[in-house]
Structure 1
Amino acid sequence: MNWTDERVEKLKKLWSEGLSASQIAAQLGGVSRNAVIGKVHRLNLPGRAKAGGTATAARTPKRSAAAPRAATYASRVATRTVTRQQGATMLKEEIEIDAVSEITYRPASNVVVPISRRLGLTELTERTCKWPVGDPLKDDFHFCGNDSPDSSPYCTYHQRMAYQPVHDRRRNNG
């Protein structure tokens, strides 16, 4: 099957009207849905219109007028390229995204920071905290060394730092 100028024009017209590749193939006759899709890509045709709209309206993202943000929020506008499917065609479009993040500080309640016993590696036992403190390549490197409950590798304070509940980690990491 050859793509004549008339068939290409008819393809462009039907595509802009929002017909699917299968429907266009049936109207053109003697061509498969995949052949229509391939030709659409080679012609770099824009996304099709949805029923009751134009091709331009289908591609243009709708932006609502947002209320001004409170001053306690850190806000920035970023542009992101998004690929989305429009019928049988994948479209790339750039959209603006308001990235907003709220930063809150919540001090821990009733936390007592223990004074480290400053033990070396050879001084550790099953009942001492093995939390490393400092740079291992420096002379002042040591381990916490405080008592650790129930054969845990860490004291109560360092357990709270090492073992965070899943929902707290997700909230803290974004």
Structure 2
Amino acid sequence: MIWTDERVETLRKLWAEGLSASQIAAQLGGVSRNAVIGKVHRLKLSGRGRTQTATPRQKKPAQPTVKAPRPAPAPRPAPSSFGATALQTQFDAEPLVRERVRNEENVVVPISRNLQLIQLNERTCKWPIGDPLAEGFHFCGNDCAENGPYCRYHARIAFQPASERRRVR
């Protein structure tokens, strides 16, 4: 939509008359309400004209009225604390402790062979032990199965059945 000088003048006139952006968009045609608002903002048109009302209301003579007393407002609870409390956590109950149920039959914790990265091959367990940035970092190094990178023990840790993962969450 291109704002021609004629359309801008029409916009200024209608805006000064007090029409809404939707009404101006309808009269201009081919322009959205948001486009009108954007153009008004760019033109810095601030003062709005008054909308015309049919006729000024005439005052009627005041008649005495009896108003019912207002009920007293209910007291608001006082805030429990002041200051920045948006990130303050409040715990109503003790945390739920979930026990991890594992089938521990025939699980033998292997003794690590303490292999370095250059000593690993396709038949050794690649389970990292320790902090990689620390001096004593090493890999498990025990014999692993044909189908994975870890020994039987570390494979059970790394690859948990989906049903057990859902239960832990």
Scaled by the length of structure 1, what TM-score is found? 0.40
Which one has a larger percent strand, Structure 1 or Structure 2?
A: 1
Larger Rg: 2
